[in-house]
């Protein structure tokens, strides 16, 4: 698995997004959305996180909050949405129609970050 790659990409993505504030902000919480179809194992990502941000001034002490997203299929035939605890098939779990749409579960997104201004030496 490539959870370390993913953790490093979260760091790089946030560094890009926060670039204009570099060095002045401290992040306390980083929230990501991970869908069940992403192939990512949340525990492994959690384990990799501190290694990926260890030397980052902004993210070094941030907690990673992983929002796990179950797969949701919209069945066109039933005109209903089904939440799957485990994905096995791109067919409607109710009527078996293949005319379904994945409306959740393929996320691998950065969602938000809690930041505060770095406490500065005012002397």
Partner 1 sequence: MCTDCGCGERPADPHGHDHLHDHDHPHGHDHPHDHDRDDQVRQHDRDGTLTIRRRILQDNDDLAAQLRVEFARQNVYVVNVVSSPGSGKTELLQRTMAELRPDVRVAAVTGDLATENDAKRLGTAGAPVRQILTGTMCHLEADMVADAIADWDLAGIDVLFIENVGNMVCPSGFDLGEDLRVMLVATTEGEDKPLKYPTLTLTADVAVISKIDLAEPVECDVDLLASNLDEVRPGIEVIRTSAKRGDGIDRWLDLLRTRMVAKAAAPVG
Query: Which spans of this chain sit near partner 1 (rule: CB under 8 A)?
Result: 1-2, 5-6, 9-10, 12-14, 16-18, 20-21, 25, 32, 35, 37-39, 87-91, 98, 101-117, 120
Q: Which does residue 76 bind out of Zn ion, partner 1, none, counting CB within 5 to 8 angstroms by kind? A: none
Packing angle between helix 3-17 and helix 42-53, nearest 10 degrees? 50
Q: Are 99 and 77 in contact (CB under 8 A)?
A: yes
Please select the residue that binds Zn ion; options are 41, 54, 95, 103, rule is CB under 5 A. Answer: 95
Q: Point out which span in 44-52, 64-72, 97-105, 111-119 binds Zn ion (CB under 5 A).
A: 97-105
Q: Which does residue 46 bind out of Zn ion, partner 1, none, counting CB within 5 to 8 angstroms by kind? A: none
Instruction: Measure the CA–CA gap between 16 and 28, rounded to whole angstroms.
Output: 17
- Identify which of 42, 10, 35 has the alpha carbon closest to the alpha carbon of residue 107: 35
β-strand 63-69 against 25-35: which pairing, if any? parallel
Does 78 bind Zn ion (CB under 5 A)? Our answer is yes
Coil, helix or strand at residue 36: helix
Binding site for Zn ion (CB under 5 A): 1-2, 75, 77-78, 92, 94-95, 97
């Amino acid at each position: 698995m490539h959870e370390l790659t993913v953790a490093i990409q979260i760091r790089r993505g946030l560094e890009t997004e926060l670039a204009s504030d570099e060095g002045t902000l401290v992040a306390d919480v980083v929230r990501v959305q991970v869908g069940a179809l992403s192939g990512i194992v949340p525990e492994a990502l959690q384990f990799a996180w501190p290694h990926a941000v260890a030397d980052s001034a902004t993210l070094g002490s941030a907690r990673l909050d992983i929002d796990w997203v179950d797969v949701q299929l919209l069945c066109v035939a039933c005109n209903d949405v089904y939440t799957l605890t485990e994905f096995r098939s791109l067919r409607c779990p109710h009527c078996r129609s293949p005319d379904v749409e994945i409306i959740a579960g393929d996320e691998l997104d950065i969602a938000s970050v809690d930041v505060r201004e770095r406490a500065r030496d005012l002397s």
